[in-house]
């Protein structure tokens, strides 16, 4: 397992994220994690649009595994984290979590694949980005 830094993004739970009872809807966690991955990438010097424009590549989700441990609620302030687990030639595996006051509510392992915009076939993670992601 990599010892990369843990990136954290604060996310407030809004009414649109919840069911009628004020409990965060299960799919909202996927959206929270997507936001955190986007900002994690930006913290390493690249936006998704920048990768598309400069390299003709984009990261797509290959698989994700979510474990829901405790519910988040309307108006909670959450910390959504992202941390590199592993980097392959065209793949990045991340560990993500959603926490409230230090308590883990949801854990996930996300496998991203770098693909060409032209063919949507796997290509190498751009070397300059790979260097920035190193521990």
Q: 42-90 pLDDT, tens per residue?
A: 999 999 999 999 999 999 999 999 999 999 999 999 999 999 999 999 9
Tokens of 21: 């009872």
CATH number at residue 79: 3.10.129.10
Q: How many domains does the chain have?
A: 1
Q: Would residue 119 count as lying in a domain?
A: yes
- Alpha-carbon span 104 to 99, nearest angstrom: 4
Q: Does residue 19 carry a catalytic annotation?
A: yes
Burial 37-57, CB ≥16 within 10 A → b, else e: bebbbeeeebeeeebeeebeb
pLDDT at 135 over 60: no
Confirm whether 12 is domain-assigned: yes
pLDDT averaged over every residue in the chain: 95
Domain range enclosing 99: 7-133
| pTM of the shown model | 0.92
User: Which alpha helices (DSSP H) does 44-116 contain, by range?
Assistant: 48-55
- Helix ranges (DSSP H) in 44-126: 48-55
Token pair 């997507």 is at which residue? Answer: 34
Looking at 17, 19, 67, 79, which residue is catalytic?
A: 19
**Structural domain contains residue 123:** yes
pLDDT of residue 3: 56
């Amino acid at each position: 397992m990599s010892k990369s830094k843990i990136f954290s993004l604060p996310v407030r739970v809004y009414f649109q994220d919840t069911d009628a009872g004020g409990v965060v809807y299960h799919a909202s966690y996927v959206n929270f994690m997507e936001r955190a991955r986007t900002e994690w990438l930006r913290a390493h010097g690249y936006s998704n649009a920048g990768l598309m424009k400069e390299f003709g590549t984009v990261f797509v989700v290959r698989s994700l595994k979510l474990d829901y441990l405790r519910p988040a609620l309307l108006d909670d302030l959450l910390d959504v984290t992202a941390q590199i687990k592993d980097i392959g030639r065209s793949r990045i595996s991340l560990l993500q979590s959603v926490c409230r006051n230090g308590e883990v509510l949801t854990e996930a392992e996300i496998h991203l694949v770098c693909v060409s915009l032209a063919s949507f076939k796997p290509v190498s993670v751009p070397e300059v980005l790979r260097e920035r992601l190193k521990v």
